[in-house]
Amino acid sequence: DGGITQSPKYLFRKEGQNVTLSCEQNLNHDAMYWYRQDPGQGLRLIYYSQIVNDFQKGDIAEGYSVSREKKESFPLTVTSAQKNPTAFYLCASRTETASNQPQHFGDGTRLSIL
């Protein structure tokens, strides 16, 4: 079955440590996104990528970095510069062949500070 796989499901970060969240899709979608969700709130865009080797900052990119070396993969690194990283992180992908196409989401990664 096609879909989006995020790993790990739970992740713990120590002070001063960088951690990387994995996102892989086999839907052949060009566009991929990373969102952050804080408790009881909506989704805020961190980064997005429309094609390989290209990505743009979203509303809250500070303290995060991404890469898009392959169409299928869009890993997110939470750097030590992100002072409040505890949140639920969702990866999404989308085909932009038609305007009615929704984003498809992974199951998310919950990141906590140790």
C-beta contacts of 106-109 below 8 A and 24+ residues apart: 106/3, 106/4, 106/5, 106/6, 106/23, 106/25, 107/6, 107/9, 108/6, 108/9, 108/37, 109/6, 109/7, 109/8, 109/9, 109/10, 109/11, 109/21
Residues numbered 68 to 107 that lie near another protein (CB under 8 A) are 88, 90, 92, 94, 96, 98-100, 102-107
Does 11 bind another protein (CB under 8 A)? Our answer is no
Q: Residues 6 or more apart from 102 whose CB is under 8 A from it?
A: 94
9/83 with CB nearer another protein: 9
Does 22 bind another protein (CB under 8 A)? Our answer is no
Out of 31, 52, 60, 61, the only residue in the binding site for another protein (CB under 8 A) is 31
Does 61 bind another protein (CB under 8 A)? Our answer is no
Does 39 bind another protein (CB under 8 A)? Our answer is no
Residues near another protein (CB under 8 A) are 31, 33, 35, 40-45, 48, 50, 56, 58, 88, 90, 92, 94, 96, 98-100, 102-108, 110
